[in-house]
Amino acid sequence: MPVSQGSDKAVHGPHPGDHWPRMHGGFRWVVPERFNIAQACCTRWAQAPDGANRIAIRQHGAKREGAVLTFAALQAQADRLSNVLASLGVRRGDRVALVMPQRFETAIAYMAIFQMGAVAMPLSMLFGPEALEYRLQDSEAAVAICDESSIANLLAVRADCPSLRTLVGVGAAALQADLDWGVELARHSPRFTAARTKADEGAVLIYTSGTTGPPKGALIPHRALIGNLPGFVCSQNWFGFPASVRPGAVEGQGSDAVFWSPADWAWTGGLMDALLPSLYFGRPIVAFNGRFGPEVAFALMQEHGVTHSFLFPTALKAMMKAVPEPGRHYRLKLQAIMSAGEAVGDAVFAYCRDQLGVVVNEMFGQTEINYVVGNCSMNGRTEGGAGWPARAGSMGRPYPGHRVAVIDDDGNECPAGVPGDVAVNRFDVHGDPDPIFFLGYWRNDGATRRKYTGDWCRTGDLATRDEDGYLWYQGRADDVFKAAGYRIGPSEIENCLVKHPAVANAAVVPKPDAERGALVKAYVVLAPGHAGGDALVAELQQHVRGKLAPYEYPKEIEFIEALPMTTTGKVQRRVLRLQEEERARALQS
């Protein structure tokens, strides 16, 4: 199923081994009028000669007989569920909520919903009743599929969600739901005639939380998967491709590709950057719904022979601190790591390169326009005419097919070195429509319009661009602040703090100050075996002062057991910033 092609026009890069100009300038999109994610990620593999044996998902921790799900079995179960949902009155365009962790049934549900032409609305199992209620009400979801992790919260809000007609329970949740997943699937046919969806039809509705106002539902079309693929392939060093066509490949790599990420399949990162592209290339992904831990992660990757992964910087920091020399304890087969969500920083970059044997490829995107910027280091190998050098601390460059720029408030591109808003153009460098774009915010045309300046879609993330086209993250627009007249981006200070052996993680926010407007304050999570105190505060301040500008060192450091995090692993600096503002008001009253 071809989705892209290269042109014959060659644009040579300025440095040996830098193939980005040629790859970016020579790429052309091929987007069919009709496209369905389920057909691309499941049906075509299930119908292949080896569909009954080709593994789609491996369930970590499952007993031997239930440890794998083949593409043929995935398709048959999806067909049964499509028939169940059709019998419940679900029609093309209707929203079906999914509130489950990484497990077979979650993938089956996605495929069933997609092939019907309905819209999957993934919801995190970590959501409380209020979060679930808002999203179910706003989307008017007709059916919700859940397991024991979420049934109680769904039952608590069901009475206030009049559009929610049916709860389908998986496993133990079946006892409290309207319908039992296992019973219903057994009653229905394993044959279903899939809808011939247009590439522009809605497939996924994911709610994104902004800094102000209620969450907004981003409606993602089927074609967005096509838009994700160039970035996925580049950041995962030609994942799943046989050695004969992988640039700089080692013989035998590619055919044994196994993917795993702790990213929840309810979020863009877990769904669009892990589950769906792995299945698109017909390769297995490991499902794990336990609690993340550094040792657990290493043991899982060793057991399943994981070759490719998406790991948040937060996870990599924890792994770096807990297992500084993984080669002494684990036998890994890693070929590529993509990281996103926060700036990776050079400390984590060096750990992945030196201890894991992988040059981490940083990636940047957001739900509305995902997988648009990043690196393609190929672990330092650029023979074969692909890839570009990764620069520690850089977000990378625009992936092939995406026109990305740093723009000012008026929509003009900023000169190199001048910070601005990272934005993506609706059209690529050839003037063709970019398929990565979301359709808009659910029933919120005003918010959709405000997202754009002309053809530029703003991300709300600040960065600078260097002369070679690499982007350097400065932070969210609302995370950057001024202290004593200086503009402060938290990422650089946090990265510097994490290099100290006593620091496991850190977050930097402004503390209101009458004279300077704000002071630089750091919240620090200590690494095991270290204790806080005045001596350590002074040591950390000197550590930063000796590496960054004098105005950047934290004037105040507070030790904290854990940083507030989103369910996708991003530090919630806003929570800490509001805490500081509240403390300041309390002192004034």
Q: 275-323, pLDDT tens digit by residue?
A: 999 999 999 999 999 889 999 999 999 999 999 999 998 899 999 999 9
Domain co-membership, 295 together with 196: no
Structural domain includes residue 37: no
Residue 428 has what pLDDT? 96
Domain co-membership, 232 together with 362: yes
Structural domain includes residue 19: no
Domain co-membership, 515 together with 431: no
Domain co-membership, 345 together with 444: yes
What averages of pLDDT result for each successive group of 10 residues across the chain (589 residues)?
A: 37 62 94 98 97 96 86 98 98 98 98 98 89 93 97 95 97 97 98 98 88 80 98 92 62 72 94 98 95 94 97 91 95 95 85 95 94 89 76 92 95 94 96 98 95 95 93 78 72 87 93 83 94 94 84 92 80 89 85
Domain co-membership, 417 together with 490: no
Residue after which a domain boundary falls, among 169, 201, 220? 220
Tokens matching residue 499: 């290099």
* Domain with 510 in it: 482-588
- What amino acid occupies position 248? G
Structural domain includes residue 106: yes
Structural domain includes residue 50: no
Strands (E), 437-580: 440-441, 452-453, 456-465, 471-476, 481-483, 486-488, 503-513, 517-526, 556-559
Structural domain includes residue 238: yes
Q: Which residues of 47-77 are buried (b: 16+ CB within 10 A; e: fewer)?
A: eeeebeebbbbbbbeeeeeeebbbbbbbbbb
Structural domain includes residue 86: yes
Domain count, the chain: 3
Structural domain includes residue 17: no
Domain co-membership, 309 together with 385: yes
Structural domain includes residue 525: yes
Tokens matching residue 299: 């043991």
Q: Which residues of 163-196 are buried (b: 16+ CB within 10 A; e: fewer)?
A: ebebbbbbbebbeebebbbeebbeebeeebebbe
CA atoms within 13 A on the CB side of 360: 30
pTM: 0.83
Phi, psi of 126 (to 5 degrees): -85, -10
**C-alpha distances out from residue 197 to 41, 117, 210, Å:** 14, 6, 31
Report strand pairing: 143-146 vs 179-180. Answer: unpaired
Domain co-membership, 209 together with 139: yes
Residue 209 has what pLDDT? 67
Rounded to the nearest 10°, the torsion over CA 273, 366, 443, 85 is: 10
CATH of the domain at 215: 3.40.50.980
Domain co-membership, 195 together with 343: no
Residue 8 has what pLDDT? 29
Domain co-membership, 211 together with 241: no
Residue 9 has what pLDDT? 31
Tokens matching residue 338: 């993509």
Residue after which a domain boundary falls, among 194, 220, 246? 220
CATH of the domain at 579: 3.30.300.30
Residue 359 has what pLDDT? 94
Residue after which a domain boundary falls, among 428, 446, 473? 473
Nearest to 321 by CA among 179, 530, 508: 530
Domain co-membership, 432 together with 573: no
CATH of the domain at 435: 3.40.50.12780
Residues 6+ apart with CB under 8 A from 374: 231, 234, 235, 338, 340, 361, 362, 363, 364, 395, 396, 397, 399
Domain co-membership, 211 together with 76: yes
- Residues 214 and 208: their CA atoms lie apart, in Å, by 9
Domain co-membership, 233 together with 102: no
